A and B are shown apart, each in its own frame.
Chain A
Amino acid sequence: MQMFDRKNETLPPAELEQLQLERLQAMVARLRRNVRRYRERLADVRIETLAEVKNLPFTTPEDMVDSFPYGMFAFPLREIIRLYSALGPGGRPLVVGHTRNDLVQWGRLAARQLAAAGVTANDVLQVSLGRVPESCGAGYLLGAELLEASIIAEDPIHMDHQFEVLKNYRPTFLITTPSHALELARTVEKRRMDAQSLQLRAIILSRPVPRETREQIASGLFSSVRCNFGVPEMLDPGIALECSAGRMHVQEDHFLPEICDDELVVTSLAREAVPLLRFRTRISARLERMKCACGRTGAVLTPGARLDQRYLVNETEFYETQVAEVLRQTRAAGNAFQLEAGERRLIVLIAMSEELFASTLPSPVEAKREIESEILGRLGVESEVQFVQRERRLSAALGES
């Protein structure tokens, strides 16, 4: 049972509450001084207990894209030493800045997560996050450095290459996407390899997965599996860590979580560049207070589905509005459509209309290929277009598939 920062990971509830209140009050004071958007909304509100956080205004992902790029920054740009963009509502960009201290703190939070998964200075970590935004890998790099673990940032395109990396460098930890881990497990099985010979101690997945997927990866690769939970608009990784008992503890000395109407709302208590007050994550979740065998006192988070129209296909995230925008550029413009996220590709159901094939009368195969290639080119997502007879049958068709 390893901890990178035992004192702060196991703060007794009374001390944690005091620290959170102090940090929240100082944050509100800083926001009022430094961020115009918050100054207007906060007015003279004072917080005397943590419960009164409910009196503070929310911050939405829409606020972040509306004030893109620097409107939410609490520091002048000269103090910001790194910028990462993230996907905002409707596919609009938003930006997360980091001061030097932000990066130091981020490294510590990531190190806590890695240490909880068992990483030590003797370990070699392969970070292979494919299409996950680069910032995620950067967080793990900072954390691994603090633990003095070796890190290989290799992103093998082909499975043969992945096996070569495993053979040559002998990584003991693989930080990757669920898709890549599953494919690796399947390939091991197909090639009748001995998973034990890979000598992987643990797989750290970039996002939470259902229990069956986790078991499939664990048994397929003969290693333990931990999941990451991050909020890219705020910090990813670093908000929560999975302990040896399989519980996702919120790092509550840095983040104050709430559940509002089933949605996870997080306040970043110690971020400097872009402090976010009551950020609506658009993720459904449950929070529980429990005594955990690992000794950590942070609330246990069980994340659920997304509450907005954000899709995840083959580890690429996008919004329905982005697909609509792409379709508008094709001959399917104006036709009703529905989306279904498959594991590998996006299913796009488009209602047929007379106009769709009226002008040049291309074959449906040709039209389908054109739209699929447009979606791949613009969104980086493999898709499968299906034309359905009538608009009103769209829902039924989705229900059947």
Chain B
Amino acid sequence: MLLQVRNLRCGYGSLEAVRGVSLHVRAGEIVGLLGANGAGKSSLLKGLVGLLPPWSGTVRIAQRETIGCPAWRSVSNSTVLVPEGRMLFAEMTVKENLLIGGYHNPDRVMQMDIVFDRFPRLRERSGQMAGTLSGGEQQMLAIGRALMARPRLLLLDEPSMGLAPLMVKEVFAEIVRMREAGVTVLLVEQNVTATLGIADRAYVMETGEIVLEGSAADLSHHPLVKRAYLGQRDESPAPVPSTP
């Protein structure tokens, strides 16, 4: 197991956003983390890298206990978070953004070439301000910046958010290519169809708890997933029959 999480609890003030979550990701897997808005998915990712101080629980990355480590150390634990909304340095060039991503990597210039080979459009726009890129290009840059740290585990938070369908397809194809290159991915998404299309396994979160886990193929047929996230509505909703 590359990532092993047990009973992770974290939140904001007195609000418990992640309520005792356990999950695991094996090396080489793409694991989806699905759920509606406010289910606690992004908080969970932040808890994993230390951006949100965990209240309790254990997080092991490659057998090393990482809970309580400051966020900046997670990069040296080979774990990088691509945050929701990209969080690029808009006033800096593509190249500068990439170099910041590889700040602790002595081979960052060489690594930048690898990233440029992966995203040729970023090479074309290396001198352009990040804020002037299209949404899809910005997402590519955010992923490219993460790859500069040569992570083993990549945590992606809503990479498809705000992208045109064609661009979503491209981003997801890129995630598959990254896995082929040896990167393990934990993918938080609301685009359930696309996620289950590329993931090996997935977890479903509701109000801070995992309520379902399974292989992506099984979950794509799961009534809960179909109803809640794939937009399939029932003609005649009936309550769960129950004896008083």
A contacts, CB < 8 Å to B: 14-15, 18-19, 21-23, 25-26, 29-30, 33-37, 46, 48, 66-68, 70-71, 73-79, 99-101, 104-105, 270, 272
**Which B226-244 residues have C-beta < 8 A from chain A?**
234, 236, 238-243
Of B67-75, B100-108, B163-171, B203-211, which stretch is located at the interface? B203-211
Q: Given A76-B238, A76-B241, A99-B223, do A18 and B22 touch, yes or no (CB 8 Å)?
A: yes
Rounded to whole angstroms, the CA-CA distance of A75 and B226 in the bound complex is 13
**Residues of chain B in range 1-55 having any CB-CB distance to chain A below 8 Å:** 1, 4, 6-7, 20, 22-24
In the complex formed, the residue of A with least CB distance to B218 is: A101
With A21-B22, A26-B212 known as contacts, the answer to whether A76 contacts B239 (CB < 8 A) is yes
Q: How far is the CA of A67 from the CA of B237 in the complex (A)?
A: 22
Known: A15-B1, A22-B22, A101-B222. A71 touches B242 (CB 8 A): yes
Bound Cα distance from A104 to B214, whole angstroms: 13
A15–B26 alpha-carbon span in the complex (Å): 10
When distances are taken between beta carbons in the complex, the residues of chain B under 8 Å from A37 are 242
| B145-195, CB < 8 A from A | none
Contact of B20 (CB < 8 Å), options: A25, A35, A272: A25
Nearest opposing residue in chain A for B235, CB measure: A78
Contact A18 B24 (CB under 8 A): yes
Where chain A touches its partner, the secondary structure class is helix
Q: Which residues of A contact B240 (CB under 8 A)?
A: 34-36, 73-76
Of all chain B residues, the one with the shortest Cβ separation from A18 is B24
- Cβ 8 A contact of B4, one of A18, A70, A101: A18
Query: With A and B bound together, what is the CA distance between A66 and B243 in angstroms?
Result: 9
A76 to B: closest C-beta gap in Å: 5
- Asked, given contacts A29-B206, A48-B20, A79-B223, whether A67 binds B243 with beta carbons under 8 Å apart, the answer is yes
Is residue B84 contacting chain A, with contact meaning CB distance below 8 A?
no
Q: Separation in Å of the B109 CB from the closest CB of chain A?
A: 39
Q: How far is the CA of A33 from the CA of B211 in the complex (A)?
A: 9
Report 9 cross-chain contacts, Cβ distance below 8 Å, ordered by A residue.
Answer: A14-B1, A21-B6, A26-B211, A29-B211, A30-B212, A36-B240, A48-B20, A75-B240, A77-B238
Give the chain A neighbours of B4 by CB distance below 8 A: 18
Bound complex: CA of A35 vs CA of B241, how far in Å?
Answer: 9
- With a cutoff of 8 Å between Cβ atoms, the chain A residues found around residue B236 in the complex are 78
Residue B96 at the chain A interface, CB threshold 8 Å = no
Residue of A with least CB distance to B239: A76
User: With the chains together, A272 CA to B214 CA distance in Å?
Assistant: 12
**Contact between B223 and A75, CB atoms less than 8 A apart:** yes
The minimal Cβ–Cβ distance linking B217 to chain A, given in whole angstroms, is: 9
Known A-B contacts A48-B7, A67-B243; the reply to A22 vs B24 at CB < 8 A is yes
Residues of chain B contacted by A30 (CB below 8 angstroms): 211-212
Q: In the docked arrangement, what's the CA distance between A105 and B221, Å?
A: 12
Mark B residues whose CB is within 8 Å of A.
1, 4, 6-7, 20, 22-24, 203, 206, 209-214, 218, 221-223, 234, 236, 238-243
- Complex CA distance for A71 and B239, rounded to whole angstroms: 12
Residues of A with C-beta under 8 A to B22 = 18, 21-22, 25
Q: Which residues of A contact B24 (CB under 8 A)?
A: 15, 18-19, 22
A71 to chain B, nearest CB (A): 4
Q: In the complex, how many angstroms separate the beta carbon of A254 from the nearest chain B beta carbon?
A: 11
CB contacts (< 8 Å) of B212 on chain A: these are 26, 30
Partner of A18, one of B1, B203, B234, B241: B1
Partner pick for A22 among B210, B223, B241, CB 8 A cutoff: B210
In the complex, A105→B222 CA distance in Å? 12
In whole Å, how far is B105's beta carbon from the nearest beta carbon of chain A? Answer: 31
User: Is there an interface contact between B241 and A104, defined as CB atoms closer than 8 Å?
Assistant: no
B209 touches which one: A29, A48, A100 (CB < 8 A)?
A29
Residues of A within 8 A of B223 (CB): 75, 79, 99-100, 272
- A14 contact set on B, CB distance < 8 A: 1
Bound CA span A105–B210, Å: 20
Chain A residues contacting B218 (CB-CB under 8 Å) are: 101, 104-105
CB contact under 8 A between A26 and B213, given known A18-B24, A75-B223, A104-B218: yes
Give me 8 other A-B pairs in contact (C-beta within 8 A), A67-B243, A78-B236 excluded. Answer: A18-B24, A30-B211, A37-B242, A48-B6, A67-B242, A99-B223, A101-B218, A104-B221
CB of A378, distance to nearest CB on chain B (Å): 27
Asked whether, in the complex, the Cβ of B210 is within 8 Å of the Cβ of A26, the reply is yes
A23 contacts which chain B residues (CB < 8 A)? 213
Q: In this complex, what residue of B is CB-closest to A19?
A: B24
Task: With A18-B4, A18-B22 as known contacts, state yes or no: A29 contacts B210, CB within 8 Å.
Answer: yes
When C-beta atoms are compared, the residue in chain B nearest to A74 turns out to be B240
The reply to whether B241 and A70 contact each other, CB–CB distance below 8 Å, is yes
- Min CB distance B190 to A, Å, is 20
Bound-state Cα–Cα, A21 to B1, Å? 15
- B221 near A100 with CB under 8 A, answer yes
What residues on B are CB-neighbors of A270 within 8 Å?
Answer: 214
Point out the residues of chain A lying under 8 angstroms from B1, CB to CB.
14-15, 18
Residues of B within 8 A of A68 (CB): 243
Give the shortest distance, in Å, between B222 (CB) and chain A (any CB).
6
Least Cβ distance of B62 to chain A in Å? 14
CB distance from B91 to the nearest CB of A (A): 43
Cα A18 to Cα B203 in complex, Å, equals: 14
Distance, CA A272 to CA B241, complexed state (A): 15
Q: How far is the CA of A75 from the CA of B237 in the complex (A)?
A: 12
A34 to B223, CA, bound (A): 13
Structural contact, A73 and B241, CB atoms closer than 8 A: yes
**Distance of A73 Cα from B241 Cα, bound (Å):** 7
C-alpha gap A255/B163 in the complex (Å): 42
Query: Could you say which residues of chain A place their CB within 8 Å of the CB of B243?
Result: 66-68, 70-71
Contacts of B203 in A (CB 8 A): 26
B209 touches A25 (CB 8 A): yes
Chain B: minimal CB distance from A286 (Å): 29
